[in-house]
Each structure stands twice: as C-alpha cells, then as structure tokens.
C-alpha cells in the first residue's frame, strides 16, 4: 500500500490533468447528501470510509467500493493513524458498453 501511496503522490506533484482523483482528510468528515452522478470506484488507501447504505457499511484501508449513481448518500471519511486517503475513479456509462450484464444475483456458499 505504501508503494501505491508514494506513486500517487509523485503523480500528483506533476500537476497534470489525471483520469482520477485523490481525496485526503486529516480530521474525520461527515458528508451528507453527496450526489453520485456517475458510477464511482473508491479505493481506500488509508483510514476507513463509512457509507450509510441501509445499514452502515465500512470500507477499510486496502478495500474498495463501487457505487452506481445515487441522488444522495451519506458518508464519513475516518483517518486512522495518519490522514484519510482514497483514490476515486469516475466512469461514464459508455465505459461499460459491450460488457455482459448478469441479471442473476451471485450465489454464495456460506458453509
């Protein structure tokens, strides 16, 4: 994870337009009614992200979540040991053209 953080910092220092965003926060943030206008991949690099989806969902450092569009979502960015850091990649719907859509939910064996 440290290598990825280092590579991101080096890339951000180049001051060029990038196909992704990096979001950081030193203190815990409570974000209310955040609109998600396009499919969004959030990779938590440090800290935790708490999402208020039905019940609270926690995404820990090293984990990711993929969100579809939503009119509003509540979330918290929670630093852990050092600043919260997440990589965000926004997609256009045309990025998914040609992919097969599976309408059957996955079956998990919990034995």
Tell me the C-alpha distance between 42 and 24, whole Å. Answer: 12
State the architecture of 2-93 in CATH terms.
Answer: Sandwich (2.60)
Give the tens place of pLDDT for each residue, 61-99: 999 999 887 778 999 999 988 899 999 999 988 887 887
What does the pLDDT look like over 2-27, one tens digit per residue? Answer: 777 666 666 666 777 777 888 889 99
- For residue 63, give both structure tokens: 């984990």
Half-sphere exposure in the Cβ direction for 88 (13 Å, CA): 13
> In whole angstroms, what separates CA 27 from the centre of its chain?
18
């Amino acid at each position: 994870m440290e290598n990825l953080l280092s590579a991101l910092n080096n890339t951000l220092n180049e001051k060029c337009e990038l196909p992704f965003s990096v979001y950081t926060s030193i203190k815990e943030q409570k974000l209310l009614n955040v609109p998600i206008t396009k499919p969004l991949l959030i990779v938590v690099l440090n800290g935790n992200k708490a999402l208020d989806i039905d019940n609270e969902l926690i995404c820990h450092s090293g984990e990711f979540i993929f969100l579809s569009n939503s009119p509003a979502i509540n979330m918290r960015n929670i630093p852990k040991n050092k600043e919260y850091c997440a990589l965000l990649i926004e997609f256009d719907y045309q990025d998914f053209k040609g992919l097969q859509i599976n309408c059957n939910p996955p079956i998990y064996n919990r034995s």
